Amino acid sequence: MRCQRIERWMPDLIFDAGRVPASVQRHLRTCAACGERLARVQAEMCSTQSLLDVWTAPEPSPYFDVRMNARLHAARQETPAGWMEQLRQRFVYGNGTPHLRPAMAAALALVMIVGGGSYAGFFAMRGIHGAAGQQQTASAAVRDLQILDANDQTIQQLNAFEDGDGGGAAAQGQ
């Protein structure tokens, strides 16, 4: 086994050695470089965990909530530069009119339904009409030949019954 393939199994070797295949474990017993690398990674992992055990999260300032609310209020009050920015600000911070969001959602749903119906109708119409949008017309002779091709076997059997041999000769000829 190549040593580069052991790198893939390193996390499993550290956290859950039971999931590692026997061939990888055998390689670790025979290859000193891979065994040393695993021992080094395990030692680094233990030192990192011991540092995390000692670390404590800092306490927030007692005025954190007050400052955050003041900044939020100031951001709501300042006037954005353009109309697109004003629209974005209205959706981000709200504008005091909660009835606008359901109306916008309904309008978007209506646009999607109409657009989807138009899209489906366009492709349904393309199946009836040609790719250029003009109706395809075939002459009567072409349509008759297409019908004959579609019903060729049935017509041959009917012709065999007409000839009087009961369909045996025509059916065997196929």
Residue 109 pLDDT: 92
Q: What are 129's strand-pairing partners?
A: 135
**Token digits of residue 26:** 């055998």
- Give Cα separations from 24 to 33, 44, 90, 136 (angstroms): 13, 21, 58, 68
Residue 120 pLDDT: 75
Residue 90 pLDDT: 73
Tokens 């004003």 belong to residue: 86
Cα distance between residue 80 and residue 70, in whole Å: 18
Cα distance between residue 163 and residue 48, in whole Å: 96
Task: Determine contact, residues 45/62, Cβ cutoff 8 Å.
Answer: no
Report the predicted TM-score, pTM, of the whole model to 2 decimal places: 0.33
Tokens 């026997």 belong to residue: 22
Residue 170 pLDDT: 45
Cα distance between residue 38 and residue 25, in whole Å: 11
Residue 152 pLDDT: 83
Domain coordinates of the chain in residue numbers? 3-54, 140-172
Q: Is the dihedral of CA 14, 17, 21, 24 positive or negative?
A: positive
Residue 68 pLDDT: 92
Mean pLDDT, 10 residues at a time, the chain of 174 residues = 75 76 83 86 87 88 90 81 78 66 85 84 60 62 82 82 61 50
Residue 171 pLDDT: 47
CB atoms within 10 A of CB 137: 8
